[in-house]
Amino acid sequence: MDLLNTLVDKGLRRELPTREEALAVLATSDEDLLDVVAAAGKVRRQWFGRRVKLNYLVNLKSGLCPEDCSYCSQRLGSKAEILKYTWLKPEDASKAAAAGVAGGAKRVCLVASGRGPTDRDVDRVSKTIEAIKEQNEGVEVCACLGLLSAGQADRLRDAGADAYNHNLNTSEGTYGEITTTHTYADRVDTVQQAQAAGLSACSGLIAGMGESDEDLVDVVFALRELDPDSVPVNFLIPFEGTPLAKEWNLTPQRALRILAMVRFVCPDVEVRLAGGREVHLRTLQPLALHLANSIFLGDYLTSEGQAGKADLEMIADAGFEVEGAGTTTLPEHRTDVAAAGCGSHASAGCGSHESSGCGSHGGGCGPCGASEEPSVPGEPSVPEARTDLVAVRRRGAGTDLAPNA
């Protein structure tokens, strides 16, 4: 296929595809899916070999958020029955982080719900970062605390943070339909503050919220321009008790096409397979490793993920290897820029929040409840709701039970 040959050539040269080419990837047929994965896989291997970076989430403060992000189980007015607790003590957060590091995680992502941190919150997180670094030599730490105020990124960097995560989530044109308590521009500003402080910037998207192909391309092109080191790709978990609970728009095939498009547009950055992979990719998760070079190990913020042991087995069975602590994630040309002080770190950033920042949400467990009515000829079929694959996190941080790592 000429399109795929062109995209591979551009990816190997780090050249930006056209919008039409990116849209064409999303429009490819299921019959061409393996060709699309193979082509994007060539670009992935050029810059990252067969390495898979493991990241581990620690939810420092769960629920009770004043923001109204429609996708989030921790949002204002959420009726989702998630864990709710205030700030973990530094020693408790460090203990949770150690479980992830023991499981093979190279990076720990510290997430807290809320609009943004107060100066006191930054002090609290700084002590947590110091505790984690003291007990886990060589571990990378990313913070995901919401919108930053002036000087806070510098303070986090001084405390030892390596990265900061704040996702754009969706296109600028549709952002107001998803969130009203802050703006798309607010998110861009926070990512730029992190970059200016010398933190590795991490910013990504959420797919499956009812957006168009054009919206997906818009947000990925905006991310390319913003140039974070890491781009987490989340797939919406339609969490019962949130406004988007009925948005089951993704198939495993579409999820793979979205990942391929992100890889072609952002060829040399860490593409993170983030929240919702178990729910939407299901048995096709191993194919996604040919597109993404990074995943979360174990559970997310408020939902349970695949067992950590199963994650490791999947990586090995698919012919990939876990990236070691002594290996630099990003290609040399990007780390050279970081060393020159251009606002990005040598390592890639952190995950994704409740399908918005660093992680993913959860939902109720139960029978799927799909309609038994046949689809109308000529109309696209609606994917069956797989609520049986969504489980609220009841272990790990904020509980007395051992974490999944």
Domain ranges of the chain: 2-339
At residue 374 the predicted structure's pLDDT band, cuts being 50, 70 and 90, is very low
Could you tell me if 194 and 201 are in contact, meaning their C-beta atoms sit under 8 angstroms apart? yes
At residue 364 the predicted structure's pLDDT band, cuts being 50, 70 and 90, is very low
**Prediction pTM value:** 0.89
Please give the structure tokens belonging to residue 170. 């969706």
Comparing 303 with 273, the larger pLDDT belongs to: 273
Residue 311 has pLDDT above 90, yes or no: yes
Task: Report the 3 state secondary structure along the chain.
Answer: CHHHHHHHHHHHCCCCCCHHHHHHHHCCCHHHHHHHHHHHHHHHHHHHCCEEEEEEEEEEEECCCCCCCCCCCCCCCCCCCCCCECCCCHHHHHHHHHHHHHCCCCEEEEEECCCCCCHHHHHHHHHHHHHHHHHCCCCEEEEECCCCCCCHHHHHHHCCCCEEECCCECCCCCHHHHCCCCCHHHHHHHHHHHHHCCCEEECCEEECCCCCHHHHHHHHHHHHHHCCCEEEEEECCCCCCCCCCCCCCCCHHHHHHHHHHHHHHCCCCEEEECCCHHHHCHHHHHHHCCCCCEEECCCCCCECCCCHHHHHHHHHHCCCEECCCCCCCCCHHHHHHHHCCCCCCCCCCCCCCCCCCCCCCCCCCCCCCCCCCCCCCCCCCCCCCCHHHCCECCCCCCCCCCCCC
Residue 381 has pLDDT above 80, yes or no: no
Cα–Cα distance, 82 to 396 (Å, whole number):
13
Could you tell me if 297 and 274 are in contact, meaning their C-beta atoms sit under 8 angstroms apart? no
Instruction: For residue 272, say whether it is annotated as part of any ligand binding site.
Output: yes
Could you tell me if 203 and 166 are in contact, meaning their C-beta atoms sit under 8 angstroms apart? yes
Pairing mode of beta strands 51-61, 294-296: parallel
The mean per-residue pLDDT over the stretch 342-353 comes to: 39
Q: What are phi and psi of 121, to 5 degrees?
A: -65, -40
At residue 325 the predicted structure's pLDDT band, cuts being 50, 70 and 90, is confident
Catalytic residues: 65, 69, 72, 109, 142, 202, 272
What do you get for the CA distance between the two ends of the chain, in Å? 41
Residue 368 has pLDDT above 50, yes or no: no
Instruction: For residue 109, say whether it is annotated as part of any ligand binding site.
Output: yes
Q: Which residues contact 393 (CB under 8 A, 6 or more apart)?
A: 59, 82, 83, 299, 300, 301, 302, 303, 304, 362
At residue 387 the predicted structure's pLDDT band, cuts being 50, 70 and 90, is confident
Cα–Cα distance, 29 to 129 (Å, whole number):
46
- Residue 405's alpha-carbon distances to 9, 279, 385, in angstroms, are 38, 18, 27
Neighbours of 24 (CB within 10 A): 18
Cα–Cα distance, 403 to 298 (Å, whole number):
8
Cα–Cα distance, 188 to 181 (Å, whole number):
15
Tens digits of per-residue pLDDT, 182-195?
Answer: 999 999 999 999 99
Comparing 213 with 337, the larger pLDDT belongs to: 213
Tens digits of per-residue pLDDT, 260-288?
Answer: 999 999 999 999 999 999 999 999 999 99
Instruction: For residue 65, say whether it is annotated as part of any ligand binding site.
Output: yes
Instruction: For residue 142, say whether it is annotated as part of any ligand binding site.
Output: yes
Neighbours of 35 (CB within 10 A): 14
Q: Which residues contact 330 (CB under 8 A, 6 or more apart)?
A: 229, 268, 269, 270, 338, 346, 347, 348
**Chain Cα centroid distance, residue 294:** 9
Cα–Cα distance, 245 to 247 (Å, whole number):
6
- Looking at residue 338, its pLDDT comes to 63
Percent of the chain at pLDDT > 90 equals 70
Residue 178 has pLDDT above 60, yes or no: yes
At residue 328 the predicted structure's pLDDT band, cuts being 50, 70 and 90, is very high
The CATH number of domain 2-339, selected from 3.20.20.70, 3.40.800.10, 3.40.50.1820, 3.10.310.30 = 3.20.20.70
At residue 336 the predicted structure's pLDDT band, cuts being 50, 70 and 90, is confident
Please give the mean pLDDT across all residues of the chain: 88
At residue 342 the predicted structure's pLDDT band, cuts being 50, 70 and 90, is very low
Please give the structure tokens belonging to residue 179. 């969130």
